[in-house]
Chain A
Amino acid sequence: MIETMKSPSYPAVRRFVQSPLVNGIVRIFRYRTAFIGLIIVAIYLIVAVFADSLAPYSPVDQQPKAMMQSPNPAHWLGTDEFGRDILSRLMHGATNSLRVSVFSVAIACLFGTILGMVAGYVGGLADIIIMRVMDLLFAFPAILLALFIVTALGAGARNTILAIAIVYIPIFARVARGPVLALKTKEFVQAALTLGAPHSRVLIRHVLPNISAPILVQVTLALSWAMLTEAGLSFLGLGTIPPNPSWGSMLSDSRRLMELAPWTAVFPGLAIMFGVLGFNLLGDGLRDILDPRLRM
């Protein structure tokens, strides 16, 4: 697809169009599953950002006259025991869930990538120390470590973000370190150093673009895990604080009246599942596109 495009004459534009990122996005459209994933993710993002204007009702207003209604034209997905509209709560839940996932993965990606790059590039003692600490964080099951950190810090969105970020830092460190080890001996890196470029510039301008593909894949997959972890923590009552809507806590609340109002248990779960599925499909697809060696 890129080949058929007329090569732009401005170097900056050409670099942008031919960058792995844009190249990848263009090629997504050729992969069916990745495309489905992209559509799902896009829908979730739109709903999350515009939840205020899209949601038909307020997510927290209680309507005593509309308690525990099954799905009907006025409330498409029904209402819960306080008469709150489930669709509206799910939409605002998307805002919460995506905010937590995006921020936590962004923090994890930033620190993890920096640590991994430094470990791989500097090598020696720095490498040993950084990677040992990362291995230690790997020695806990992810959900458990997040649970533990949130317990110590206290529930709430900010602490959840922090906890999930800490849990996923080692993954990014590992993903970044491997290729950096191979890249630092390459001629173009050596050439840049010989020309007098400082290490920071070499890392950012020469090494980083070459590891951006696996990191991008990892970001997408980590977003799906972060979404699951956030839902799990909220389910246990440690994530988002009620009455703010969150998919996990909606599921947890639904257990009390499940037999009377099964819809309260079904829809939040579907929301989580499709969100995670979307990011997984997109991540798997991106991996196929960007790194054909890892194709499953």
Chain B
Amino acid sequence: MVPLYTCVKRGWINKWIEWVVASGGIPHHEPLPTFLPYLAIMKQFLVRRLIALIPTLLGISIIVFAVMHLIPGDTITAMIGTQFKLTETQAAALREYYGLDKPLPEQFGRWILATVQGDLGYSVRKGEPVLPLILRHFPLTLELALFAMLIAVALGVPLGILSAIKRDSAIDLAGRVFALIGLAMPNFWLGTLIILVLSLYFQIMPNAGNYVDFFTDPIANLKQMVFPAITLGFAASADILRMVRSSMLEELAEDYVRTARSKGLAERAVILKHCLKNALIPVITIVGLETGYLFGGAVIVESVFALPGIGRLLLDGIGERDYAVVQGTILFIAFNFVLVNLLTDLAYSWVNPRIRYD
């Protein structure tokens, strides 16, 4: 990495500016409004979207509630298991406390009221309420998902551009093969292989030792997170690559590209300044969607790398039949997924002023 003052001293900055001017200058278009004032303009749209969120969240809750009632038999017995015998009065007391003796709609009403107030139930196995438990495990999963998305974008976007501008060349073929493998390779296998190679040939154990959070020791934290993030981001990078490639190809066939070329712009400027900006618009949607899916994928990757995130919490909950934890975690991830999708929609209309939702 060359320090900035060296660049200034050697006149690289000036050369760079000259290059920008020579290659056609920065194209004129309306500057984007910054995001927050934009939200003010879009207040009406935003309010409507937030209101529309309520039935979605309610629907998700109904699905989660319904699936929990698919558990055969009585939840209390299923939870406690057979090793520990409850007396009939104890079981009855618990059933009454959880309202399991009430009709289903009333049970749902009680549950949803509690959920809205942030009460996701009590984890029998961990001995504490579920919500703080989730909030404690969530930062890791969030970091993992964001880190994975960063890797996916850093891999997928440049490879997609290369693949598109060198269409039908060896580079394109390599990019497409990479995308096919990325989509077909299960992340738990990739993770297993990474651990195998690292431990056999480099004597590194990425899944050993206790988890250190980012604010205590950023370096140690990133060392722990980099391999899980690669594992998780690999498939997403393949998806992004395909999207960038196809949308770049579409843009390259547009009239404005021919205009830009015929007025003598350098190819680099045509691609980076004209095409890429338009080509990246649909990519935003896929990045948003993928970020949502990464929360789901994180469940498996955390289990492979033994990371104590929300996915790990969920799997432990499943293994221990700690249904309050299972229910709470699923609900939490689904809510996040919906919020990420909403943000994606907003970002999409922000960068693409041609789209206005009204």
Residue A16 interfacial (CB < 8 Å): no
Contacts of A254 in B (CB 8 A): 192
A selection of 28 A-B contacts at a CB cut-off of 8 Å is: A132-B55, A132-B59, A135-B56, A136-B60, A136-B63, A140-B296, A141-B297, A142-B296, A144-B296, A147-B318, A151-B326, A152-B71, A231-B188, A235-B300, A236-B299, A236-B300, A236-B303, A251-B189, A259-B196, A265-B189, A269-B186, A269-B189, A273-B181, A274-B184, A276-B183, A277-B180, A277-B181, A296-B242
Q: A136-B59, A142-B296 are in contact. Are A265 and B184 (CB under 8 A)?
A: no
> Closest residue to B67 on the A side, CB-wise?
A152
Question: Is B94 part of the binding interface, using a Cβ–Cβ cutoff of 8 Å?
Answer: no
A170 CA to B18 CA in the complex, in Å? 54
The residue of chain A having its C-beta at the shortest distance from the C-beta of B64 within the complex is: A148
Name the A residues within 8 Å of B318 (CB-CB).
Answer: 147, 151, 238
- Which A138-168 residues have a C-beta within 8 angstroms of B? 139-144, 147-149, 151-154
The answer to whether residues A143 and B297 also contact, given A153-B70, A259-B199 and a CB cut-off of 8 A, is yes
A139 and B326 contacting across the interface, CB-CB below 8 Å? no
In chain A, what residue has the closest Cβ to B72?
A: A154
A140 B300 Cβ-Cβ under 8 A: no
**Nearest CB in chain A to that of B338: its residue:** A139
Pairwise interchain contact B299-A144, C-beta atoms closer than 8 A? yes
Q: Which residue of B lies closest to A140 (CB)?
A: B334
**Nearest Cβ on chain A to B124's Cβ, whole angstroms:** 16
Task: Contact check, B292 vs A141: say whether CB atoms are below 8 A apart.
Answer: yes
B68 at the interface (CB under 8 A from A): yes
B interface vs A, CB < 8 Å? 55-56, 59-60, 63-64, 67-72, 180-181, 183-186, 188-189, 192-193, 195-196, 199-200, 242, 245-246, 292-293, 295-297, 299-300, 303-304, 314-315, 318-319, 326, 330, 333-334, 337-338, 341
Q: A152: which B residues are within 8 A, CB to CB?
A: 67-71
Residues on B with C-beta less than 8 A from A272 are 186, 189
The A contact surface, by secondary structure, is: helix
CA distance A149 to B124 in the complex (A): 21
Q: Are A141 and B337 also in contact (CB < 8 A) when A151-B318, A154-B72, A269-B189 are?
A: yes
Could you say which of B70, B200, B330 contacts A262, with CB atoms under 8 Å apart?
B200
Bound complex: CA A265 to CA B200 (Å) = 13
| Min distance, Cβ A182 to any Cβ of chain B, angstroms | 23
Given A139-B334, A258-B195, A277-B180; 13 other pairs, CB 8 A cutoff: A132-B59, A139-B59, A140-B60, A140-B334, A143-B296, A152-B69, A231-B188, A236-B299, A236-B315, A262-B196, A265-B189, A269-B192, A273-B185
B186 cross-chain contacts in A, Cβ below 8 A: 228, 231-232, 235, 269, 272-273, 276
B81 to A: closest C-beta gap in Å: 14
A255–B192 touching, CB < 8 Å: yes
Nearest opposing residue in chain A for B335, CB measure: A139
Assembly CA distance A252 to B333 (angstroms): 24
